[in-house]
Structures are given as structure tokens and as C-alpha cells.
Amino acid sequence: MRLQSGDTLRALIRQRGYSMAQVARCAGCSKAFMHGLCSGAKQSCSIQLGQRIAEILDVPFELLFAMNNSRRSGRRIKQKLTA
């Protein structure tokens, strides 16, 4: 899953009165990983983790995350078909 915006995630955490550490603990990931998502250093996570974060923050999953569209894998398939 690709995070839509680290800024949005950070704002929602603050708005709900949580710390990144609290959300990380409840979601089952490290504080460093959560900080990476909020800062933009990390841009993706598992579907399960994304769902837990959205549930903790009480927001629709789609507000925070989008499906990965792997351009790279699409290129590999096209290359194999044309080879």
C-alpha cells in the first residue's frame, strides 16, 4: 500500500491527540517505521498495517492509502512479451 501523504497522517495523529509512538504500538509497528511514514522517508506498508492505522485514527482506509501501481513490474511483463 502506498501512503497518500505523510503530512495528512501526521495531522490526523495530532488531531486525535495521539503520539506517533502510541499509534505505532497499537498498530504493531516500530516508532521508527511510523516516523518514516509521517516524514515521507517510508511511502508504503502492508495492507494489514494500513488498515490498522486507519482504524486507530477512525478514518477511511482510502483517505490514507492507495493501491501500489507498480510501473516497474508492468515494464517487465511488456519486455517479456516483446522478447
| Residue 81 pLDDT | 60
| Residue 72 pLDDT | 52
pTM: 0.79
Between 83 and 66, where is the model more confident? 66
CA dihedral 63, 19, 46, 9 (to 10 degrees): 30
**Integer Cα distance of 51 and 61 in angstroms:** 6
Query: What pLDDT digit, counting tens, does each position of 34-81 carry?
Result: 999 999 999 999 999 999 999 999 999 999 999 876 555 445 545 556
DSSP code of 80?
H
Q: How many independent structural domains does the chain possess?
A: 1
Residue 53 belongs to a domain with what CATH number? Answer: 1.10.260.40
Query: Whole domain around residue 10: which residue ranges?
Result: 2-82
Mean pLDDT of 22-26: 97
Contact 19, 31 (CB under 8 A): no
